[in-house]
Amino acid sequence: MNGPALRPGDIAHQSMEGVYVALSYAVSYVGSVTTLELLHRRTGSRGWYNWSLLIGSAISMGSIAIWGMHFIGNRAIILDYGTENHQLIYNSKFTALSFFLPIMVLLSAYLFIGADEEVSKVRVSIGGTTAGLAVVLMHYLGQFGISNYTSVYKVPFVIGSVIVAIVASNVALLIFFVLRSQWAGTWWKRVCCSFVLAGAVSGMHWLATVGTSYRLRNAALPNNTLDRKQTVIVVGTLCLFTCTCLLAYAIAIGAKARNMQSKIRKVTLSTVIFDPDGHLMVSTSGSLPTEVITDTLNVFLDQEFSREHPVFLWFYRASRSWVSVKDFMSGMQQHLRTIDLSKIGTADQSNLNVIFRELLCVAAKKLSEQLRQPVESLGVLYDEVLHTRHTRGRGSIPTGPSDVENLRKVANGRGQTLFVYQQVSKEEAARLQSHGYRFAGVKLAIDVVARSLQLPRDELMIHLQNMRDSSGPESILEPGVHIGFFAVRANIDGGFEVLVQSRQPNLIPSVQIPVHALADGMKLALQSFHGMTLSKVLEELGTFSTGSEETFLDDMRASFWALTKAYPDSFWMDAVFSSIPISMACRSGDDDLEHSTAQMFVFRSVVPIHQRELSDGIKLSPFEFFTTQQRTFSTSRDHEVFARQAHTEFSGLSERYLRVPKPAFLLPKLARFVRLSRRPTTAEKTLVENPFANIMISQAVDVHSAKTSMDAHELDSMRTTGAAVVVREVEEPTWVEEHFQLLMDRTRPT
């Protein structure tokens, strides 16, 4: 339909083309969802990773969601009944300015809001208001760039469009930033927020458009103008590019998810890192940094892989003394590249155990490289092995502790996960955030982490809480004199277990007597109770008096009663007292002392195997594992022995596989003479021919058959004496093994 001829100064008739109205909203939505996805991936305010995401989100919102939506939306406006030469034409300079200006405003808004998990609502409101004003600013700057018409505005519509832009932007950003820590993996919530954010842009635009009329100008058009076809091509190209990037991103995320699903069917090593506030470090997808150890665990196992397995015990010690093995990890990695793990047999279990150790160390090395930190800062190994539960359909693999065959069939759908954990400083947390990690509350992150590891949520929560509690100061005795319970119980599956503290499982139940050192009279008082049961000792303490030592006896009586109150199990009353002090590692109160010890007097007991109910303060720990824990205190001298054993085991591999070839600058005859003049020794030949030559497998003490020279005074060697500063090649028995032998000697038939 043609109307009267339009003359300069006349208001043009206008109508809308519905297809472009819908297309403009779609363009705004694409830009909005890209923006929120990029903002969601930010983990902090430092590092090129976070800055690239911040700039990318500002560009996506400013150029696609706002600028692209505006010009596609204006394409829907039909002026003067569709007369071709009377449609909107834009000044290219103002069009370019309207492109960059909102990007800069949005960049400042997102930068002001920040990327912390605990977002200030005031800061988000200010940032949301700024983002809304950026939408308004771009719209009216773009309108000012129309070359052939003058825009005529109705004030109520202008005010309404500003309110819509600010309110909708605030709602979308407030919901997104305040709750985003809960959204790792929940893409549909970001999709919903994107609808609101795109509605803020489109709502403002169309409300302003309804209140805008166009008066034809009389002036000649400038040369640098863009017609609506050219504008649509430019905007469409930008949108197509963004969609392509989103598609590539979705494919990459899908591949990452599939990779994680394959990892959980293998033996993996994951790192658990807490900041000083107890927040858990996760990747932007909500999972823990993880490396595969092996997918052929059944090749290496001669028994169930648990915290009682010799390789696990070795790695437990290695994680508390990374400096002992870090120099050999590159050699281990080179050695593993020469081995086809799928063709390894089980003829030589000692060699398989060494290879398994190498796999564990190499996984730790890769994990430290993934975190961009030295391996000695990786943390310590958690004392449990968790079994993943990959399910097919509704069925799941059973999880009974005796189901050894299923535990070994890792490649058939079920894997195992080991954890190393630590607590980092605020500075280190900020560095990790700059590399693309984020810290979230454990309760907020647990659902996504549990799904990614295929672990039960409640079970994983308990383990994470244990790791968080253990990541603080070391659980170790204070200097002084202690009274404790040492009790063992036979395990129905074989071996023995030790009763330990629930919250400090590397320590036996104990209390400290308020004395710094024992005088001769105090020692005599303790010796008088030797061989008595706890009930008898408490009875004697009610009447016993030694004059000047009466205060000490009162303190000891109070300590004994405190011990029975803290651990109110009836079987303690039959425990037998030993007056021979045990020298144990303790917290050093003097920085000049390299090592420090505490004295422990114990009541020994063998708990009946039918005793199942224990008080809340104690639990059972495998004997071999508890013994290993006694060697891993920070003040233990056993670290030196472990380092020498590790050097004996793996230095040959490093020398062989990391040997740097010497330059061949000698003449052939001279080179032959040098080789002949230095004939390799027998040991060197053996090392070259067999990389496992000279390997000294660390040996566990057989507590069932170990011989001892203890006399009637129970071990003079256990008396408190000054430790000689010597380098030991073989580890001495721990106090646990010695006292266990005493228990077995007493219970063994005559």
> Does residue 378 sit within a domain?
yes
Give the residue numbers spanning the domain of 216.
Answer: 14-255
pLDDT band at 111 (very low <50, low <70, confident <90, very high): confident
Q: Is the pLDDT of residue 379 over 50?
A: yes
> Does residue 650 sit within a domain?
no
Q: Is the pLDDT of residue 180 over 70?
A: no
pLDDT score for 684: 37
pLDDT score for 14: 87
Same domain as 70, residue 131 = yes
- Report the half-sphere exposure of 200 (CA within 13 A, side-chain side): 30
pLDDT band at 253 (very low <50, low <70, confident <90, very high): low
pLDDT band at 117 (very low <50, low <70, confident <90, very high): low
pLDDT score for 335: 87
Same domain as 617, residue 549 = yes
> Higher model confidence: residue 320 or residue 704?
320
| Cα distance between the two ends of the chain | 118
Share of the chain above pLDDT 70, in %: 73
Same domain as 465, residue 493 = no
Closest CA to 650 of 369, 357, 363, 420: 357
Question: What is the mean pLDDT of the segment spanning 453-474?
Answer: 90
- β partners of residue 621: 498
Alpha-carbon gap, residue 512 to 530, rounded angstroms: 19
Closest CA to 560 of 545, 546, 547, 575: 575
Phi, psi of 30 (to 5 degrees): -60, -45
- Provide the mean pLDDT of the chain: 77
Pairing of strands 149-153, 90-91: unpaired
Question: What is the mean pLDDT of the segment spanning 552-577?
Answer: 87
Alpha-carbon gap, residue 146 to 91, rounded angstroms: 6
pLDDT band at 724 (very low <50, low <70, confident <90, very high): very low
> What residue has token string 């339909």?
1
Q: Is the pLDDT of residue 713 over 50?
A: no
Alpha-carbon gap, residue 738 to 659, rounded angstroms: 44
- β partners of residue 282: 438
614 contacts 569 by C-beta, under 8 angstroms:
yes
Count of C-beta atoms within a 10 Å radius of residue 259: 11
Q: Is the pLDDT of residue 650 over 80?
A: yes
Of 338-342, 467-471, 570-574, 724-728, the range with the lowest mean pLDDT is 724-728
pLDDT score for 227: 62
Q: Name, in order, each residue with C-beta under 8 angstroms of 741's C-beta and a sequence gap of 6 or more.
A: 703, 706, 708, 710
Q: Is the pLDDT of residue 254 over 80?
A: no
Dihedral angle over CA of 232, 235, 241, 247, nearest 10? -80
pLDDT band at 319 (very low <50, low <70, confident <90, very high): very high
pLDDT score for 225: 57
Alpha-carbon gap, residue 203 to 194, rounded angstroms: 13
pLDDT score for 714: 52
Same domain as 275, residue 243 = no
Q: Is the pLDDT of residue 84 over 60?
A: yes
> Does residue 6 sit within a domain?
no
Of the residues 620, 636, 652, which one is the last residue of a structural domain?
A: 636
Alpha-carbon gap, residue 624 to 303, rounded angstroms: 14
The full DSSP string for 219-261 is: SPPPSSEE-HHHHHHHHHHHHHHHHHHHHHHHHHHHHHHHHHH
- Total domains present in the chain: 3
pLDDT band at 693 (very low <50, low <70, confident <90, very high): very low
Q: Exposed e or buried b for every residue in 117-150, given b needs 16+ CB within 10 A?
A: bebeeeebbebbbbbbbbbbbbbbbbbebbbbbb
pLDDT band at 170 (very low <50, low <70, confident <90, very high): confident
> Higher model confidence: residue 475 or residue 494?
475
> Does residue 575 sit within a domain?
yes
Same domain as 571, residue 466 = no
> Does residue 649 sit within a domain?
no
The full DSSP string for 85-137 is: GGS--EEHHHHHHHHHHHHHHHHHHHHHH---SS--HHHHHHHHHHHHHHHHH
Of 226-235, 395-404, 501-510, 512-521, the range with the lowest mean pLDDT is 395-404
Same domain as 445, residue 423 = yes
Of 315-324, 360-369, 370-379, 430-439, the range with the lowest mean pLDDT is 430-439
153 contacts 211 by C-beta, under 8 angstroms:
yes
pLDDT tens digits, 387-445: 876 444 333 333 333 333 333 333 344 678 999 999 999 999 989 988 888 888 888 78
546 contacts 553 by C-beta, under 8 angstroms:
yes
> Higher model confidence: residue 522 or residue 700?
522
Cα 185 to Cα 180, 254, 379, 389, 455: the distances in Å are 10, 11, 27, 19, 16
Q: What is the CATH number of the domain that holds 547?
A: 3.90.79
pLDDT score for 186: 61
Same domain as 315, residue 238 = no
Cα 40 to Cα 37, 111, 124, 444: the distances in Å are 5, 14, 14, 15
Count of C-beta atoms within a 10 Å radius of residue 21: 18
Cα 183 to Cα 34, 284, 285, 286, 445: the distances in Å are 15, 10, 9, 9, 9
Phi, psi of 484 (to 5 degrees): -140, 170
pLDDT tens digits, 121-148: 788 888 888 888 888 888 888 888 888 8
Closest CA to 135 of 27, 16, 28: 28
Of 198-212, 390-404, 571-585, 630-644, the range with the lowest mean pLDDT is 390-404
585 contacts 632 by C-beta, under 8 angstroms:
no
Count of C-beta atoms within a 10 Å radius of residue 543: 6
> Does residue 172 sit within a domain?
yes
Which secondary-structure segment (H or E) carries 420?
A: strand 416-423
pTM of the entire predicted model? 0.65
Q: Is the pLDDT of residue 547 over 60?
A: no
CA angle, corner 40, sides to 39 and 45, nearest 5?
Answer: 60
Same domain as 277, residue 236 = no
Of the residues 443, 470, 497, which one is the last residue of a structural domain?
A: 470
pLDDT score for 681: 40
461 contacts 446 by C-beta, under 8 angstroms:
yes
> Higher model confidence: residue 75 or residue 468?
468
pLDDT band at 8 (very low <50, low <70, confident <90, very high): confident
> Does residue 443 sit within a domain?
yes
pLDDT score for 670: 39
Question: What is the mean pLDDT of the segment spanning 470-481?
Answer: 89
Which one-letter DSSP state was computed for residue 454? T
pLDDT score for 349: 59
Same domain as 386, residue 269 = yes
Of the residues 613, 636, 659, which one is the last residue of a structural domain?
A: 636
pLDDT score for 47: 66
Alpha-carbon gap, residue 520 to 224, rounded angstroms: 103
Count of C-beta atoms within a 10 Å radius of residue 472: 11
Same domain as 413, residue 550 = no
- β partners of residue 619: 500
Same domain as 47, residue 24 = yes
481 contacts 513 by C-beta, under 8 angstroms:
yes
pLDDT score for 709: 36
pLDDT score for 193: 80
pLDDT tens digits, 273-297: 999 999 999 987 778 999 988 876 6
pLDDT band at 683 (very low <50, low <70, confident <90, very high): very low
Same domain as 72, residue 39 = yes
> Does residue 695 sit within a domain?
no
> Higher model confidence: residue 661 or residue 624?
624
> Higher model confidence: residue 380 or residue 402?
380
